[in-house]
Amino acid sequence: MHEFAITERLVETALRTAAESAGPDARVRRVRMVAGALHALVEDNMQMAYAVLTRGTAAEGSRLEIVRRPVIAACGGCGWSGEITPPFFVCPRCEHVGVEVTGGKELFLEEVETADEH
Amino acid sequence: MNIKVYQDLMGANEEWAARTRVLLKEKGLAMVNLIGAPGCGKTAVLEVMARRKDGPRFAVLEGDVETTRDAERLARLGLTASQLLTGGACHLEAKLVHYALRDLPLDELDLVVVENVGNMVCPAEFDIGEHAKVAVLSVTEGEDKPLKYPLLFREAKAVLLTKTDLLPHLSFDLATCLKNLQSVNAAAPVFQMSAAREEGFGPWQVWLNEARAEARSP
Ligand SMILES: Nc1nc2c(ncn2[C@@H]2O[C@H](COP(=O)(O)OP(=O)(O)O)[C@@H](O)[C@H]2O)c(=O)[nH]1
Ligand SMILES: [Mg+2]
Ligand SMILES: [Zn+2]
């Protein structure tokens, strides 16, 4: 359940961002995070952790969007670059096994939407 | 109101990992992070290393969810071993490791070995400032493990294939396992070893000595 540790940081950062940008009374409506496919995150665990961790905060009841990004690799053998499917880190063109991973490790908070004030 | 953020979620952990790297550099120490399933033989490997004379001088940081049994096992062999209790968490994070590291007698050491919490998923996600993650896989676990846990095997700079004394009793297909490891990570050397028979430790100790030499180079 490392999802809990990651979600803790997500919620903390989202709340801080909302308060700094939209004022101390701002309520969070939606949070979007980006997670590369190399991170073994179970989405249900993330959602569950999010619901628990936002309880009693300005983000209670808000929606968590998780955007997955594919693993991208570049082949040092033939110059091919593109999407690969773990667990096979092999060049689909020349079958070279030493491809370099250039995308799929990202893990960040991308956007926070706050509710408009009335 | 939509606020664009782009805030890395590993940032705080990374800061502690960076402090650890600075400390290790200052002391000319190497640090490796052993990651594998519960019971794959991590502590047994450390016990054999403690008895051998050809390896680096090392201390151990034992990650565990709650008991101090592994650290006690190692202390009995005369090793300096601190137990890091995660209190339920399935992995070690950089801050806890940094505090424990600072309390070790660093000037008397060449190497610090971290035995992470027995788990093949979560510890692979967290940088603790180590020079190398080392994946530990026992032959009793099946040859497809590298394919089931690609992040760990991808991140690892070396792989220990343990309990090889059991091979005659298993239908474990060694060639397939090595091929799977190769397809996930072609660069990591695989050290086949048996702690029970104290076999295969020479090349692993050489690799550790090299890691140490690298840590000392400017
Ligand atoms: N046959 C055999 N058993 C081993 C070997 N290494 C460890 N074991 C056994 O595997 C079990 C778990 O070992 P341990 O080192 O505690 O695993 P850890 O949880 O990864 O630290 C123990 O019962 C050990 O006796 C080995 O090389 N050969
Ligand atoms: Mg152990
Ligand atoms: Zn290629």
How would residue B87 be classed by pLDDT, with cut points 50, 70 and 90?
Answer: confident
What is the percent of chain A with per-residue pLDDT over 70, rounded to a whole number?
Answer: 97
C-beta B137 within 6 A of ligand 1: no
**C-alpha distances in angstroms, A63 versus A39, A54, B1, B179?**
21, 10, 15, 43
Residue ranges and CATH numbers for the domains of chain A are 2-69+105-114 (3.30.2320.50)
Which pLDDT does position A1 carry in this prediction?
67
Residue with tokens 């080392």: B134
Is the preceding peptide bond at A87 cis, omega within 30 degrees of 0?
A: yes
Residue A27 class from Cβ within 10 Å (0-12 exposed, 13-18 middle, 19+ buried)?
middle
Split into its structural domains, chain B has a count of 1
ipTM over 0.85? The verdict is no
How would residue B55 be classed by pLDDT, with cut points 50, 70 and 90?
Answer: confident
From the alpha carbon of B44, which atom of ligand 1 is closest? 15
* Residue from the list A21, A97, A110 with its beta carbon closest to the beta carbon of B183: A97
H helical segments located in A23-69: 43-54
The HSE-up count of residue B101 (CA atoms within 13 Å, CB side) is: 31
Q: Is A20 left (phi over 0), alpha (psi -120 to 50) or beta?
A: alpha
Q: What is the CATH number of the domain that holds B207?
A: 3.40.50.300
Which pLDDT does position A65 carry in this prediction?
98
Q: What is the mean pLDDT of chain A?
A: 93
Judged against a pLDDT cut of 90, whether residue B118 lies above it is answered with: yes
DSSP B152-202: HHHH-SEEEEE-GGGGGGS---HHHHHHHHHHH-SSS-EEE-BTTTTBSHH
Is the CB of A109 less than 8 angstroms away from the CB of B150? no
CA of A52 to the centre of ligand 3 (A): 45
* Residue from the list A9, A38, A88 with its beta carbon closest to the beta carbon of B183: A88
Question: What angle, rounded to 10 degrees, do the helices at B94-102 and B11-27 form?
Answer: 30
d(CA A69, CA B157): 24
C-beta B162 within 6 A of ligand 1: yes
Query: Rounded to 5, what percent of chain A is helix, strand, coil?
Result: 30, 30, 40
Which pLDDT does position B66 carry in this prediction?
78
User: Residues in chain A with pLDDT < 50?
Assistant: none
Segment B209-214 shows an average pLDDT of 94
For the entire predicted model, the pTM comes to 0.91
Which pLDDT does position A117 carry in this prediction?
61
Judged by a CB distance cut-off of 8 A, whether residue B171 touches chain A is no
Which pLDDT does position A66 carry in this prediction?
97
pLDDT digits (tens, 9 = 90+) for B133-186: 999 999 999 999 999 999 999 999 999 999 999 999 999 999 999 999 999 999
d(CA A1, CA B144): 23
Which pLDDT does position B75 carry in this prediction?
92
Measured between beta carbons, which residues in chain A are less than 8 angstroms from residue B4? 110-111
Domain ranges, residue B102: 5-216
What is the percent of chain A with per-residue pLDDT over 90, rounded to a whole number?
Answer: 80
Residue type, A59: A
Judged against a pLDDT cut of 70, whether residue B38 lies above it is answered with: yes
pLDDT digits (tens, 9 = 90+) for B171-202: 999 999 999 999 999 999 999 999 999 999 99
d(CA B169, CA B167): 5
